[in-house]
Amino acid sequence: MMFATQSLLLFLFRMVLTTHCVVVDAGHGGDHDAGATLGTIKEKTLTLTMANELREQLLQQLPHYQVVMPRGTDRDVSLGERIRFANQHDCEAFISLHVNSSRNAQLSGIETFYLDTFKSRFQQRLRETFMRIEGHRLSVTDLIARELEIKTVTQQSGELAVRMLKTVHRELASEYAGVRINSVKRDIFELLLGVRMPAILVEAGYLSNENDRQRLQNTHYRHLLEKAMALAVKEFLQPSLSKMQ
């Protein structure tokens, strides 16, 4: 237990010294993972376009921050590589961009996900993810320390997930009142389980829904959406920004 306490203290100390940066992850990519596809429209292409555009918005709104991306081109990047990339950069927030799809073409809207630490599978998935990323098993003390670390970060992830949807709704309401803002959701995604910073996954709309699909292909709409997303990140990071002034 002493080792677990020391590990948690080291984690909290590391958070204080965190590099001022944000990770923007373009979901899917490369020759073997196009993501959701409808005709010639591919999720991997949309997420890459949005990630590059969001990066520019973040650089404008957060001039003292770096914005780093696991992939800036159409290439294969495994979940393990994305996790290691994010953790090596040790940033203050991680945003993974995706586009939804469903057999029900009526489903639409934007939603955010953050890690669910209450599901019965949580500890098992944590062990499996650690084994894949680090290449060795978690000891009992390491597992306790990692759980404490995750639960500290997960609360912040939840705050970011909620703020993201609230800010997007507020900023889009005047021009795009018809955009559906879905609820914040929780799940045990391996990506969110492995990243050691506040992390959310954003589903920016449904490729299978005609209105969402048209909006996501509209440059003006994407500009407003990404500007709102960048503002949400800025608002989330405000305590850090205040210390920098």
Mind listing the pLDDT tens digit for each residue in 199-223? 999 999 999 999 999 999 999 999 9
pTM of the model: 0.88
Tell me which of 3.90.1640.30, 1.10.260.40, 3.40.50.720, 3.40.630.40 is the CATH number of domain 2-239. Answer: 3.40.630.40
User: Cβ distance 131 to 195 under 8 Å?
Assistant: no
With bands split at pLDDT 50, 70 and 90, how would you rate the model's confidence at 7?
Answer: low
Dist CA 114 CA 202 (whole Å): 9
Per the structure block, which two tokens stand in for 240?
Answer: 């850090």
List phi, psi (to 5°) of 106. Answer: -80, -20
